[in-house]
Amino acid sequence: MAHFDYIIAGGGCAGLSLAYHMITSPLKDKSILIIDKAKKNRNDRTWCFWTDQPTIFDKIVLREWSKIEIIDDERHFIRPLEDLDYQMIRSIDFYQFIYKELSKYSNIKFLNGFIEKVQSDEKSASLVVEDKIYTADYIFDSRFSNESLTPHHPDYHFLFQHFKGWFIKTPIPCFDYHKVTMFDFRTPQNGEVRFFYTLPLDDETALVEYTIFSDNLLTANEYDSALEGHIRKVLKIKNYQILETEKGIIPMTDFRFPKQEGRRVMNIGTRGGACKASTGYTFLRIQRESEKIVRSLMRDNSPFYPQKSRFRHRTYDSMILNIMHRDGGLIRDIFMQMFQNNPIERILYFLDERSSFIRDLKIMNSVPSEPFITSLENIFGSDGLQKK
């Protein structure tokens, strides 16, 4: 039975990020086993995020944008970003970059296989891969499937951010590659939140994504025909070639994912609740989580760092999810008013949970209050007591 200091169960974004943070810290000599059922040798997703400072992944940023566009049938805003950059990283570049760095350390091992039976006791944690047992001082578990979210707990909201995107190439310049279209609401909402997201890589290439926040997934044909209709009729691009496709489902829930399972198993990434409930943005939250774990291991020899209260932001997330759940069709107008009445950076810091209460109030004051009051009543009850 092989024993390691740490086992990372699932070598995707969270697992590899944690390993990378470990080798760039005094933990670099720890023995680490990273296990994944997939080989991670293809571009299975792209990550976008906004940041006001350099990140450890600056070298692999594929593109960055300094303007954000928001549009619906009546309103159109293009807002320059001043302190922030909106950036994109391809997952294949991320996997290759981290594998290359980790391969410099003989104390780091990789195993390709399906993990079962993760458990722990006072002294150690263990898991099973193809009938072999591996043990460690701590296991960091990032295995996740959206099916594991069911059955739904009645006290929480459960929706999905589900999307399909095409990287398209046009024979003539069609895109302004200085701007990213974050929300293009020129599509029927069907009582849900539906929009297109366009990320130009240059003036002839872009990722166009059809995104829905709801609890009903579409068929493959429905995503495809919406994408085709948007590109031809709304973007008015008649000729294009599909280079690559991307699809995904991200949980949007205020469910409290447990961080700790047993004495020595820590859940990380999506499994540990890293996805921002109301937006699905996760990448930078995973980096912040990895930093905290490494600091905690260095300080206390335990990864379980004290959780900061997120009551305020959890409540905002729950309110937005509650509106999406009741009548997602309201969100388009709320978002358009929010972008119309606030500087873009105020909104992005707010979504990143890095704004002051006063700034939050300014944002809330800029959108219709009625849907949020109903949400508060649904969450806390009319007597103001939280139901969960």
Ligand X SMILES: Cc1cc2nc3c(=O)[nH]c(=O)nc-3n(C[C@H](O)[C@H](O)[C@H](O)COP(=O)(O)OP(=O)(O)OC[C@H]3O[C@@H](n4cnc5c(N)ncnc54)[C@H](O)[C@@H]3O)c2cc1C
Residues that bind ligand X (CB under 6 A): 10-15, 35-38, 45, 47-49, 114-115, 142-144, 246, 248, 250, 269-270, 280-283, 286
Task: In angstroms, give the least distance from the CB of 201 to ligand X.
Answer: 14
CB closer to ligand X out of 95 and 175: 95
CB closer to ligand X out of 269 and 328: 269
> In 28-59, which positions are buried (b, 16+ CB within 10 angstroms) versus exposed (e)?
eebbbbbbbeeebeeeebbbbbbbeeebebee
Dihedral angle over CA of 371, 376, 379, 381, nearest 10? -120
Given a contact cutoff of 8 angstroms between Cβ atoms, the answer to whether 108 and 34 are in contact is yes
What is the C-alpha separation between 171 and 175, in angstroms, rounded?
11
Could you give the 3-state DSSP secondary structure of residue 202? Answer: strand
CB closer to ligand X out of 144 and 339: 144
CB closer to ligand X out of 177 and 372: 177
Task: In angstroms, give the least distance from the CB of 61 to ligand X.
Answer: 13
Q: For residue 95, how many other CB atoms are within 10 A of its CB?
A: 20
Task: In angstroms, give the least distance from the CB of 380 to ligand X.
Answer: 29
Q: Tell me the CB-side half-sphere exposure of residue 243, using CA atoms within 13 A.
A: 12
By CB neighbour count within 10 A (0-12 exposed, 13-18 middle, 19+ buried), where does 83 fall?
A: exposed
CB closer to ligand X out of 160 and 330: 160
Task: In angstroms, give the least distance from the CB of 190 to ligand X.
Answer: 22
Task: In angstroms, give the least distance from the CB of 47 to ligand X.
Answer: 4
CB closer to ligand X out of 271 and 332: 271
Task: In angstroms, give the least distance from the CB of 118 to ligand X.
Answer: 9
The residue sitting closest to ligand X, measured at its beta carbon, is 12
What is the C-alpha separation between 330 and 328, in angstroms, rounded?
5
Given a contact cutoff of 8 angstroms between Cβ atoms, the answer to whether 217 and 236 are in contact is no
CB closer to ligand X out of 14 and 139: 14
Task: In angstroms, give the least distance from the CB of 376 to ligand X.
Answer: 27
Backbone angles phi, psi at 105, to 5 degrees: -115, 115
Output Rg (C-alpha) for the chain, integer angstroms: 22
Task: In angstroms, give the least distance from the CB of 80 to ligand X.
Answer: 21
CB closer to ligand X out of 47 and 240: 47
Residue 40, sorted as left (phi over 0), alpha (psi -120 to 50) or beta, turns out to be: left
What is the C-alpha separation between 291 and 46, in angstroms, rounded?
22
